[in-house]
Chains A and B, each alone.
Chain A
Amino acid sequence: MMILPEIKNDDNWIGGFDAGWADTEKKLYYVFGGSLADDNIHVNWDAVPPGQIKSALDLLDPKWNGKIAMQDPRIEGKGLNDILVIMLGYGEDFVRKLLSAQKIVYTNDRRQLVEWVVRGRYPIAIGLNDYFLVIFQEKGLGKNISAVVDPKTGVYWSSGSSGIGLFNRAPHPNAAKVYVNWLLSRSGQMAWIKTQTNSRRVDVPPFDPKGVMKPGKSYRNTQAEEMIPQRRRIQELTQELIR
């Protein structure tokens, strides 16, 4: 399937080519992009004094009660992924306290979540998608919203939509081969970053330099198959705590 030599050249990928497999067998689903998952909390700094939120731990302060909004983590998406990363970094008890005590407001509407933070109605967000924030910021709104970079969660990354698999019995197997090889080539990845996502290829400039994984450092993909138990656990927990 992967024919072009440049694709399987370890030198072309952060962490080498094999670091991209998301399935435990390393043969079915290949992840070619993604970003560090340490941007799980976004803050409107016009409404929150700078320095008051340095990590997820600060969110338990009673003064943020009723000030936090979140993309509903009961369904797949950045909300689920971010709270998973927070659980991996700070433990289940912490998540239990956060979701129980802080009167968090949930939405499935990613644009609405950004709008709430922009307007300051809920100046703190978990699961906020940068793609939608950029749309507001390009119009001059929410310029002072940014992510709290939490070093404790900086060992995780999320591949988002940056992966490829191929169903069996595909009707156009050779055209699919061309597509897979093109997509993983430098040319395909240069096209990919226009979706506002980082590529794992080292010869492709990042869309978001803050989210780039550093060569030589070890990271865990929160969306890989090996994370299934933790993912199931956080799903159970959020189902239990959010009514």
Chain B
Amino acid sequence: MSPQRDRLLRAASLTAMGVLLLLLGRVASAAEAGQSVQKEWEKVLSAAAVEGQVNIAGPPGDAFREAIVDAFRKVTRKSKSSFWAVAAGIKSLGFSASGKRGSMVGTFTFPDRHPRWRRSSPSMALIRLSR
């Protein structure tokens, strides 16, 4: 084998090894990230089980309660899900002011009222959902 060809082969195998290590590194970091998400999720689940309850507001009528609240109860058997039907934005304010704070599904039409909540009454503000 000529020295030139030998160098080329060495370079090629080093490159291939580098690519392989890079890929393995990525797989490993994805796995680590996955594990960290899993840990975080398990921590949240444990803490939620201790809290044992979530307050949910949603549209009035049976459809939401049956489809969502009952379904959520089934997947979190240990939790008690409270439910308040909320018809529109102004009632959402009442819901919050009454101390029944919790999650809220839809119902308010986002516009109009929401910026006012944040300005005039921070205690009723929505909190950040995005990470």
Contact = CB atoms under 8 A, between A and B. Distances in A.
Q: 7 smallest A-B Cβ distances: which pairs?
A: A161-B106, A174-B47, A194-B67, A175-B54, A191-B71, A174-B48, A175-B48
A167 B131 CA distance: 16
A154 interface: no
B123 A169 contact: yes
A179 interface: yes
Contacts of A141: none
In this complex, the interface size class of chain A, counting residues with CB under 8 Å from chain B, is 35 or more
Contacts of A232: 111-112
B19 interface: no
A3 B110 contact: no
B51 A164 contact: no
Given A164-B103, A191-B71, A231 B126 contact: no
Interface string B43-64: 0110110111111101100011
Contacts of A1: 127-131
A236 interface: no
Interface string A85-129: 000000000000000000000000000000000000000000000
Interface of B: 34, 37, 40-41, 44-45, 47-48, 50-56, 58-59, 63-64, 66-68, 71-72, 75-76, 79, 81, 88-89, 96, 101-107, 109-112, 114-115, 122-131
Nearest to B56: A179
Interface of A: 1-5, 8, 21-23, 26-30, 75-76, 131, 159-183, 187-188, 191-192, 194-196, 223-225, 227-228, 231-232
A22 B104 CA distance: 14
Contacts of B54: 172, 175-176, 178-179
A164 B56 CA distance: 10
A194 B44 contact: no
Contact of A166 (B48, B68, B104): B104
8 contacts: A165-B129, A172-B52, A172-B53, A174-B48, A175-B54, A183-B68, A191-B68, A231-B109
